[in-house]
Structure 1
Amino acid sequence: MPDRVLPEASKSEWRALLAKGRAAVSAQQRVAEAAALADAVAGLSATTACCYVPFGSEPGSIALLDVLRKAGTRVLLPVVPPAPGPLDWAEYTGTSSLVAGRFRGVLEPNGARLGPGGVGEADLVLLPALAVDRRGVRLGRGAGYYDRSLGFAAPGAGLVAVIRDTELVERLPAEPHDVRMTAVLTPGLGLVELPRE
């Protein structure tokens, strides 16, 4: 469990432990978590939301995107660029608009590209994470796409990481370039606001 990690553990040590924990999650638990997250997101209000399509062991499902769309929210999804850098964005208009992306298992929208500044149109940004600490420090997979992209986010936009309940931890290693989350969304806890520094 992540709570057993020593405070001085490195990001790579955290990632290894969290990956092991995610690999142990049963298919039944994933389905239940996805339904709970879709229910929880129904309580969020946004004109435009940047989201993502979960893949692999990430919690959530496409149903979460559809809940937002049915509520009248414009949903933007990331498009991974050919070289490491900020993400591009395009509108999600339903499952028929999704195509295979650059990375195996990642689905992306096939519509018109909005460029890295697309995230600046959102008042809510839901993003993947392996864990988040109580200070809002987010641990991602390590490629840096979201760290580079969040610099384009609108001031005051809600930055909400979608994680499992056990992935909200006391303290993660932080670096100066890490963008702090304003909240997390979990299957059991729902939306948990984090302190803004």
Structure 2
Amino acid sequence: MGHDGRADDPDKRTLRREILAVRNRLTAGDVRETAAALADRALGLPELARARTVAAYVSVGSEPGTLALLDALRARGVRVLLPVLLPDNDLDWGAYEGEGSLVRVRHGGRMALLEPAGARLGPDAVTAADVVLLPGLAVDARGMRLGRGGGSYDRVLARLERAGADPVLVVLLYDTEVVRRVPGEAHDRPVHAVVTPSGVRRLR
């Protein structure tokens, strides 16, 4: 809902630019190394250890790597749901069946995303998740998350709310992306925890 015609907050735009500039300096090796640490830390989160269904995403480029975590969850018998971007920026979902089941999809002029090749489960599939892993660029101590600005996850959060679903919301970031304050709007839904390569922090 952050993008229902309202202009994006200039403070958010500035923070987004700063964080992306730092991420863009990371090497493939940096991303791989931190992905292994992120998976270890995330699996130590009791809610994730207990989860039967986890809605996640496949990291791209210099985003904190998620594949190691997806594989570890799947190896434990967890049902992992991955997003499929729809033309209106909403998200459909499909099950993760291993790295070989991902297809590279280019959406307009934006960077290609890795999406699940199998059956589409519908946008409401996310409401069955015990834990939802959200992509982000920063989070603060209140649990306010800075997204990429596309609004897809605002819709997911609104859908969870409408369904009365209350999964644990977790954002995966690099250590430097836990910041003093993310510019927040009244409707923003705070996340419960942040996982970085150095550990897990509970928020709010």
Give me the TM-score of the superposition, normalised by structure 1: 0.88
What residue number does 2:68 align with? 63
Q: Secondary structure at the match of 2:148?
A: coil
Shift of 1:105: 2.6
Asked if 1:14 is matched to 2:51, the reply is no
Output the CA distance in 1 between the equivalents of 2:189 and 2:169. Answer: 9
Structure 2: tracts of 5 or more residues without a match: 1-8
What residue number does 1:5 align with? none
**Pairs aligned (count):** 186
Output the CA distance in 2 between the equivalents of 1:67 and 1:185. Answer: 15
Structure 1: tracts of 5 or more residues without a match: 1-7
Shift of 1:61: 3.5
Shift of 1:26: 3.2
Output the CA distance in 2 between the equivalents of 1:28 and 1:95. Answer: 19
What residue number does 1:30 align with? 31
Aligned residue type for 1:94: G
**Per-residue Cα deviation, 1:45-82 (whole angstroms, up to 9, x for no partner):** 21000000000110113121000011111000000001
2:28–2:62 CA contact under 8 A, matched in 1: no
Aligned residue type for 1:24: R
Q: What root-mean-square deviation, in Å, do the aligned CA atoms of Structure 1 and Structure 2 show?
A: 1.6
What residue number does 1:167 align with? 177
Aligned residue type for 2:61: G
Does the C-alpha gap of structure 1 residues 178 and 102 become closer, same or farther in structure 2, counting only changes over 3 Å? farther
1:159–1:181 CA contact under 8 A, matched in 2: yes
What residue number does 1:121 align with? 128
1:40–1:187 CA contact under 8 A, matched in 2: yes
Q: Secondary structure at the match of 1:169?
A: coil
1:78–1:89 CA contact under 8 A, matched in 2: yes
What residue number does 2:105 align with? 101
Output the CA distance in 1 between the equivalents of 2:80 and 2:53. Answer: 6
**Per-residue Cα deviation, 1:85-136 (whole angstroms, up to 9, x for no partner):** x311111111121112243331000111111111101000111100011111
Q: Tell me the percent identity.
A: 49
Asked if 1:186 is matched to 2:196, the reply is yes
Output the CA distance in 2 between the equivalents of 1:15 and 1:180. Answer: 18
What residue number does 2:57 align with? 52
Give me the TM-score of the superposition, normalised by structure 2: 0.86
Q: Secondary structure at the match of 2:71?
A: helix
Output the CA distance in 2 between the equivalents of 1:179 and 1:97. Answer: 32
2:91–2:123 CA contact under 8 A, matched in 1: yes
Worse-superposed segment, 136-145 or 39-48: 39-48
What residue number does 1:79 align with? 84
Aligned residue type for 1:95: E
2:96 to 75, 83, 92: 92
Displaced runs of 4 or more, over 4 A: none
Aligned residue type for 1:77: L
Shift of 1:42: 2.5
Q: Secondary structure at the match of 2:33?
A: helix
**Per-residue Cα deviation, 1:136-174 (whole angstroms, up to 9, x for no partner):** 111111010001112223633110011001101111101
1:133–1:169 CA contact under 8 A, matched in 2: yes
